[in-house]
Structure formats: C-alpha cells, structure tokens
Amino acid sequence: MNLLASLKRPEYVFRPAQVFRRTMCSLRPEAPEYMTVKLPWGLPLRIQPNEAQGSLIRRLGVYDLHSCEIMSRLIDPGELAVDAGANMGQMTSLMAMRAGPRGQVISFEPHPVLFGELQYNIAAWKQDPQAAPISAHQLALSNREGAAQLVVPARAVRNQMLAFLADDAPENTQLEHYQVPVTTLPAIVPEGQPIGLMKIDVEGHELQVLSGAQPLMAAGNIRDILFEDHDTPPTPVTTFLEDNGYKIFRIGGRLSGPELDSIDTPFTSGVHGPPNFLATRDASRAKARMARRGWTANQRNRRD
C-alpha cells in the first residue's frame, strides 16, 4: 500500500494533525509501556502503545471511528449509556462526553488488568465538568448471576481485545484464565430507567448478554444497541434482536461519513474496524441522525 492510499482515511483527512502524529510514530517505532494521548473529543486516555488497540489509537487518534460516530450521533445529553466490554475505556469516554453532566455511563470490564486501566482513566475524566458520571463494574454481563472463566489466548498479549468468556472451559486449560463474576444487566440498571445506547463488545458472548437484558428490552427500555458480529446474518444474535422488535443495520461508510446499510450488505474494506451492527427501536431517528456527512466524533463538544 502506498503512502497516499494509506492516508486516505477519515482519521487523517478530517484531522490532518494526526498525519504528523503518525509520522512521529514511524520515526520512533519504539514506544514506552504506557503513554497518554488526547482523544478527538478532548479527554485523555492512557494506552499501552505496544498492544493492538493502543497501537491503533496512537497511529489513528481513535479506535473504530465508525462505531464512535454512531455513538456520537445517537447518544443525547442527559441519557444513560452502557458499555459492555469497556477495555481501557475509549468508548466509555465518548459516551460520557455525549451524555454530559446530566447523563450517566455504566461500564463493565471483567479483565482485572484492563479494569485497572479503566479505573485509572476514569479518575482523570472526573476532572472534566462536561463529562457524565461513570459507574465502572469489574463484572461480565451474561444471562445469569455467578462466575465464569475469562480465557486469555496466547496471542492476547499483543491484543487484549481477544479475551473471551467461557462457561465450560476446563479449569486445567493451558491458556491464561481468570475466574470472574457475571451478572445480568437488570441486576445493575435501576428498574424503569431507559438506556439510550448500549455498546456490546464481548467476543462471542453477545447472545448471553442480550438474553440477560431481555426484560429491559421487552419493556422498551433499551433504544439502541451497537454490537459486533463476525458471522453472516441471520445469526442467533440478529434473530434474537429482531424477535424482540429491533431493526438492524450493518454499519458502513465512505470517506465522507458513516452509513447505515441493510443487514444483508456484505462487509467491505471501506470500514476500517470490526464488523459492527446497530439494532434500534427507532429506525427513523437513527437514519435521520446519520444523514449528515462528516465525522462529528472528531469534535469535542457537539450538541444537537
């Protein structure tokens, strides 16, 4: 790939200063164990630049811009947002800025090391008066309460996003693993409190998370659900959501901005990030919010 083609991405075209930061990364490929970057919406984030997500944030300024853009446009000030699988907290931070001081964010991260990083970053964000209060839980969301094994594949040393929950993994597995508490979303979210947007990134445990949240879905208390699915629809996850009254779109996009494509649209290389979908109870609202061109997630204090 030539240099010009590699720079033809919204992360660079709409934030030209990021080209300079990428160049500096190339000139100084050796990075410290930790470093702090400033996210496009203004909050600091401590990353591990030698790990997969941290490396992408260092070079691009943001991880998974398309999903960030969906959240930026769909979360309104004053709403509750939920981050299931928060990792070090990049998405949590965007939720906090969009929901604002009258809103609330609830984040879940079971991995003990990543939860420590999440707590570290949340402590820094409390200094910003425009950010929503964040409640962080060292738990995995599922369809039951109890405990499960969080399995960490060997290659997850360089990519911490690969850890997955395995209820039936043998305890003598050769893979690194942790016993972690699991719970359901209704056990944490107050009864009757509506959720504007819920992001789910749980490496194959999506159906269990959604099954556990089904009482809230049945009551109409979760408007938008952003989730990852590597299989071709219809999948158990997409079928479950459709059976519970959601319209599902595949997240696509061009250089000029993101798009909501039909669920059966093939995943293309035009989206730099994982295969993500949006499930919504208000399709007309979602489509109207996505009609604008550009990338509002790059702006610190956008308000509708």
Is residue 238 a contact partner of residue 247, using CB atoms and an 8 Å limit? Answer: no
Q: How far apart are the first and last CA of the chain?
A: 38
Q: Could you identify the residue written with the tokens 């409190």?
A: 193
Q: Give the span between the Cα atoms of 9 and 34, in whole angstroms.
A: 26
Is 245 a residue whose pLDDT tops 90?
A: yes
Q: Could you identify the residue written with the tokens 């960490």?
A: 152
65-298, CATH topology level: Rossmann fold (3.40.50)
Is residue 180 a contact partner of residue 149, using CB atoms and an 8 Å limit? Answer: yes
| Sign of the Cα pseudo-torsion (60, 64, 69, 74, in order) | negative
Instruction: Report strand pairing: 247-254 vs 257-262.
Output: antiparallel
**Domain ranges across the chain:** 65-298
Round the average pLDDT of the chain to a whole number and report it.
Answer: 87
Q: Could you identify the residue written with the tokens 């004053």?
A: 78
Confidence tier at 296 by pLDDT (50, 70, 90):
confident
Vertex 65: Cα angle to 64 and 67 (nearest 5) = 75
105 bridge partner residues: 81, 134
What is the percentage of the chain residues whose pLDDT exceeds 70? Answer: 82
**Structure token pair of residue 68:** 């960030």
Q: Give the span between the Cα atoms of 154 and 186, in whole angstroms.
A: 33
CA–CA distances in Å: residue 205 to residues 53, 85, 167: 20, 10, 10
- What per-residue confidence (pLDDT) applies to 287? 97
CA–CA distances in Å: residue 288 to residues 260, 285, 292: 10, 5, 8
Closest residue by Cα to residue 212 from 127, 144, 280: 144
> Could you read off the pLDDT of 7-51 as tens digits, one per residue?
678 777 767 676 656 666 766 766 789 999 999 999 999 999 988
- Which amino acid is residue 71, in one-letter code? M
CA–CA distances in Å: residue 202 to residues 26, 166, 199, 264: 31, 11, 10, 22
> Could you read off the pLDDT of 136-175 as tens digits, one per residue?
999 999 999 999 999 887 654 555 666 788 864 445 455 6
Q: Give the span between the Cα atoms of 10 and 206, in whole angstroms.
A: 29
Q: Give the span between the Cα atoms of 55 and 75, in whole angstroms.
A: 27
